[in-house]
Amino acid sequence: MVTKVGLRNIPPVLFAALRFDLGAILLFGYVAAKGLRWRPRTRSEWSLVAVGGAFMIGAHHALLFTGQQYVTSAVAAVLLGLVPVLTPALSRLFLADERLSPLGVAGILVGFAGVWIIASPDPANLLSANLRGVELVLLSAIVFALGAVLTHRNRTSLPTASMQAWMLLVGAVMLHVASLLLPGEAIADVVWGSETFAAIGYMGVVAGVVGYFMYFTLLSRLGPIEMSLIEYVIPVFAAISGWLVLGETVGVGTVTGFVVIFVGFVLVKRRALVREVQGFRTSITSR
């Protein structure tokens, strides 16, 4: 929702670059204030920040924003919904300890069906969408999933905040280069004002610093397959925030999609949910 507001005044790729500029500056400041180790030392750590920044921040957003110029938001949402489908396949190639049960695979496919229902793309539009746009957005999904898998594989003692700061910096540089090469991306095209600064601030601080810090922290604990499920949650909160703030309509199809996504989540996380319910019952009984 905030991205949609910001795009009224800022070219898309430049918008992404500016938000990660702000995020990197704030994170390096936080690392310095806390006295954390700020610089990667080993080849493995430099490789980690390079891969994460290049794939998950720079290439992903550059391909996504460029591709969205040629396809509808519904088509883009469905293509990005393939991230949880692609991640298990890539994990099987690169991570020996990452596997999904048949029921878990079914849950991921059910979640993807929920994304499709919320996006409700016209099948004719999917078939007639500009092939270049489809290729770019699909490639952005593949790049993000691959980045998550490779980042998780590369263990490090570098503090999460330091790792994230370098990734945002690498991604921001890549996005600035892409912005310079694309038409309509000049800094002179930005309409500066309170709305613009608010959008950059939110995307840089809340989504960029806090959001990615949570993501990378959980990635190390849960692995790329489970973390890929956030792609199913994004359309839900996008619809809710658009309804609350922008007055957009939430129809029957959207609500149905919410339910379908929740069913898919339950199938994937069924064991953890059962443990939580059992723990809750035990705590109630012991009182």
Residue 95 lies in a domain: yes
Residue 59 has pLDDT above 90, yes or no: yes
DSSP tag of 223: -
Residue 261 lies in a domain: no
* Closest listed residue to residue 36, CA positions, set 27, 47, 45: 27
Residue 125 has pLDDT above 70, yes or no: no
Please tell me the predicted confidence (pLDDT) of residue 122: 67
* Closest listed residue to residue 191, CA positions, set 15, 9, 17, 8: 9
Residue 285 lies in a domain: no
Task: Note the pLDDT tens digit of each residue in 178-233.
Answer: 999 888 888 888 999 999 999 999 999 998 899 989 988 888 888 888 888 888 77
Task: Determine what percent of the chain is predicted with pLDDT higher than 90.
Answer: 31
Residue 48 lies in a domain: yes
Please tell me the predicted confidence (pLDDT) of residue 123: 65
Residue 26 has pLDDT above 90, yes or no: yes
Decide: 146 and 83 in contact? Cβ < 8 Å: no
Of 38-52, 57-71, 76-90, 213-227, give the lowest mean pLDDT range: 76-90
Residue 251 lies in a domain: no
Residue 107 lies in a domain: no
Domain residue limits at 194: 2-101+121-228
Stronger pLDDT, 234 or 137, i.e. the higher one: 137
Give this prediction's pTM: 0.78
Residues 189 and 11: their CA atoms lie apart, in Å, by 7
Please tell me the predicted confidence (pLDDT) of residue 39: 92
Q: Rounded mean pLDDT of the chain?
A: 84
Stronger pLDDT, 77 or 190, i.e. the higher one: 190
DSSP tag of 211: I
Please tell me the predicted confidence (pLDDT) of residue 128: 60
Band of pLDDT at residue 104, cut at 50, 70 and 90: confident
SS3 24: helix
Residue 256 lies in a domain: no
Number of domains in the chain: 1
Helices 131-153 and 73-80 sit at what angle, rounded to 10 degrees? 30
> How far from 241 is each of 84, 168, 212, CA to CA, in Å?
23, 26, 20
Residue 283 lies in a domain: no
Please tell me the predicted confidence (pLDDT) of residue 124: 63
